[in-house]
Amino acid sequence: MNEETFLANWRTILENRVEEVISRFRRVPGVRALILGGSLGRGEPWPLSDIDIIPIYDINHGDEANERIKELRTESIREWEQAGWRTALDVGSLYFNVEMVSRVINSRPSDLDSLLDNLSCYHCLDKAYQCRVLVDPDGYGSDLVQWFNAHRFADQVVSLRKSKLARSFSINLSLLEKSITEQERLTATFYLNEAVENLRTYLLESWGERDHSFARLGTRFERIARAKQQDHLADKINKVRSLDDESVLNRLNVSPDWIKNRHRLSYRCRRSVGEELTEVQDARDVLRVFARYEIKNLWHGTSDAYPEWLGIMSSIEEARYGYESLQRLGDEVLSL
């Protein structure tokens, strides 16, 4: 299957692949419900949509079931690659058991803080919001999605999420400062980028918006900031992350072919579903997402020479400047 074949039939292919994995996953002992999350679950797919599955397990079989689900995930991706087109399948990191579902749907306001400390609960407020339940003989999936839909933008939930994001920003800022002291440019760049993303998500929460569609979030954030007359904040966030227009073009120019191809394909796919954006905006999103993955892959390496496209700060002096810029940006955002 080549690119043209896939793009001519992408909706059907994605739906067929969803049916494939659901058929496999539902037969795993201990599976009680399967939720289709993300853009496919919301009915807002694009050709490069991931298949996001959120399982609900029995209390006593969750670990074994999740391990089997992850094995089946690997098998499915391998088969799709052999067919000529890889689709990302996100399953196994976010999941619930029936006891946790009961705890969530029967929670009181005083329980919310501890609930949001659970990573599955915290992230599925976005990933499963307004999404589809595909396997649900006992109603656990429907109850959970209904709770997410009802509580995602409740004042207390938003306030707690902002508080947790502000705390994460402070932690990442401290880790950035420590990395500068230890003269670790790669580590410093990683924590600077993570802290910037904390601020971006904090702003989205403040504006009554969600952090979804990770691959396209940067452009969406720019649109929302413009509508809120806060363009300057989007510009500052891009600048601190070396993702201003000039930096994007420079980094793209020295990127490996696979990044350039991803940008070409991403831009084509986004335009094909009617999204209005520039090539620079798409390139910014691609660099933001894939540089993060590559930086994490380099984490335990011994080399101090890094590919230029990753946007690694070139010196400790640049890292100190980035730290000071981030402090000022944090003061501005967290005071809103």
d(CA 140, CA 124): 15
**Beta 96-97 vs 51-57: how paired, if at all?**
parallel
Q: What is the pLDDT of residue 213?
A: 77
Q: Check residue 214 and give its pLDDT.
A: 82
Task: Name the nearest CA neighbour of 112 among 74, 71, 150.
Answer: 150
Burial of 184 (0-12, 13-18, 19+ CB in 10 A): middle
- The domains located in the chain, with CATH, are 3-151 (3.30.460), 155-334 (no CATH)
124 Cβ partners below 8 Å, 6+ apart?
Answer: 37, 54, 94, 96, 144, 148
State how far the Cα of 181 lies from the Cα of 174, in Å rounded to an integer: 11
In this predicted structure, what is the pLDDT of residue 212?
75
Per-residue pLDDT of the chain (336 residues; tens, 9 = 90+): 889 999 999 999 999 999 999 999 999 999 999 999 999 999 999 999 999 999 999 998 889 999 999 999 999 999 999 999 999 999 999 999 999 999 999 999 999 999 999 999 999 999 999 999 999 999 999 999 999 999 999 999 999 999 999 999 999 999 999 999 999 999 999 999 999 999 999 999 999 998 777 889 999 999 999 999 999 999 999 999 999 999 999 999 999 999 999 999 999 999 999 999 999 999 999 999 999 999 998 987 666 789 999 999 999 999 999 999 999 999 999 998
CA atoms within 13 A on the CB side of 27: 6
CB 61 within 8 A of CB 30: yes
Residue 142 pLDDT: 98
pLDDT at position 152: 97
Q: Give CA 271 to chain center in angstroms.
A: 21
- CA–CA distance, 132 with 122 (Å, rounded to integer): 18
Kindly give the residue spans of alpha helices, DSSP state H, lying in the chain.
3-8, 10-25, 38-42, 62-83, 98-105, 112-115, 119-127, 140-151, 155-181, 185-206, 217-227, 231-240, 245-253, 257-272, 279-297, 316-334
Ramachandran angles phi, psi of 61, nearest 5° = -125, 15
Give Cα separations from 240 to 25, 184, 282, 321, 324 (angstroms): 42, 18, 18, 10, 10
What is the distance between the alpha carbons of residues 11 and 15, in angstroms, rounded to a whole number? Answer: 6
- Amino acid at site 274: G
This prediction's pTM: 0.94
